[in-house]
């Protein structure tokens, strides 16, 4: 199956990719290894040519699963992974943007993946103790050595993107973006468009809230949404009321809510590639079908009207927000 494609700097990938965090942790009980393998292969069979992982996902388990189940099909996809957030001892999570740490994380990733090259390698977060120029310089040297093909940034603001791009061309910037989370519109999307940088939208269905996956805050153990204010208590109750209006619009258009959310993200710019994650093949099939949906300008505006200034609660805890470099919307809470 062939999907529409989009550019990410020098790379060309399917218009919808697959985020590979869900296959090993984050949203409660992960799928079994067999289920994860079937999901990854189904994505490739559907025409997805962009898989996104990171050193920190499952403390390296996501990269291992990709090696065991689809690296024999590597010619069929572009692989992205990330450094800076890592657990060098396999237990303790750390944020370290020093060049030596970046090099060590990359070498461990290559070993876990059974590869000698990663197509796109991101700085997962900004280490404020290390100048961005030094961190990007480490990736530039890795590219010269043939270990990576292109450089990306994750959750970084327009000023940081420009500083990084001055050191080495940046292929892609990744941040959360959905009808509910519009922060990249403050400056990041325009900066990427101006500099010829692709934008990768993670959590494009708002961590399941726009995919009928959240109905209350009785989450499974180890679900990261238990730390996110907008997914809890009175905030969640209010937000689900807003989402109900969005779901009604999706029904009127004969789309699922997830498909409407993904089609909206795709409509916001030809340089944008959403990477929904899921644990279930049925959800994957639903997501990929959104790649060919074209929304009218009126529908795009209607979606935006539903969420304009209506969502309550921060998207991260104060501790997690401290690692994020993206600009806040006017009046948005830090915590």
Catalytic residue among 57, 121, 177, 316: 57
CB atoms inside a 10 Å sphere around CB 141: 15
- Please list the residues that pair with 14 across neighbouring strands: 5
Contact in structure between 205 and 261 (CB atoms under 8 Å):
yes
CB atoms within 10 A of CB 80: 31
Neighbours of 234 (CB within 10 A): 9
Q: What is the DSSP string of 244-274?
A: HHHHHHHHHTT--HHHHHHHHHHHT-TTEEE
Q: Are 238 and 331 in contact (CB under 8 A)?
A: no
Asked about 57 being catalytic, the answer comes back as yes
235, 216 contact by CB (below 8 A): no
Take residue 315 and report the two structure tokens written for it: 């998207």
Residue 81 to residues 101, 105, 108, 240, Cα–Cα distance (Å): 15, 10, 12, 33
**Residue positions annotated with a catalytic role:** 57
């Amino acid at each position: 199956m062939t999907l529409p494609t989009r550019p990410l700097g020098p790379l060309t990938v399917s218009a919808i990719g697959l985020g590979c965090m869900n296959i090993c942790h984050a949203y409660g009980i992960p799928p079994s290894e067999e289920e994860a393998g079937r999901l990854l292969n189904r994505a490739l069979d559907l025409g997805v040519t962009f898989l996104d992982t990171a050193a920190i996902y499952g403390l390296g388990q996501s990269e291992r699963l990709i090696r065991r189940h689809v690296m024999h099909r590597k010619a069929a996809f572009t692989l992205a992974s990330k450094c800076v957030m890592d657990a060098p001892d396999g237990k303790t999570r750390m944020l370290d943007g020093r060049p030596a740490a970046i090099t060590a994380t990359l070498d461990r990733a290559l070993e876990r993946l059974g590869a000698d090259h990663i197509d796109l390698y991101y700085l997962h977060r900004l280490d404020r103790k290390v100048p961005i120029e030094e961190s990007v310089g480490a990736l530039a040297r890795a590219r010269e050595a043939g270990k990576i093909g292109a450089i990306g940034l994750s959750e970084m603001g327009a000023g940081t993107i420009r500083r990084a791009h001055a050191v080495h061309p940046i292929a892609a910037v990744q941040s959360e973006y959905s009808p509910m989370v519009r922060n990249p519109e403050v400056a990041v999307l325009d900066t990427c468009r101006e500099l010829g940088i692709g934008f990768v939208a993670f959590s494009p269905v708002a961590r399941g809230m726009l995919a009928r996956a959240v109905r209350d805050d009785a989450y499974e153990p180890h679900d990261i949404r238990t730390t996110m204010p907008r997914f809890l208590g009175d905030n969640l109750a209010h937000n689900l009321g807003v989402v109900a209006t969005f779901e009604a619009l999706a029904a009127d258009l004969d789309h699922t809510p997830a498909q409407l959310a993904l089609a909206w993200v795709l409509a916001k710019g030809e340089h944008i590639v959403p990477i929904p994650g899921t644990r279930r093949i049925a959800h994957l099939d639903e997501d990929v079908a959104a790649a060919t949906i074209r929304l009218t300008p009126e529908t795009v505006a209607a979606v935006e009207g539903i969420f304009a200034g209506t969502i309550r609660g921060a998207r991260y805890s104060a501790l997690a927000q401290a690692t994020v470099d993206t600009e806040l919307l006017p009046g948005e809470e830090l915590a």
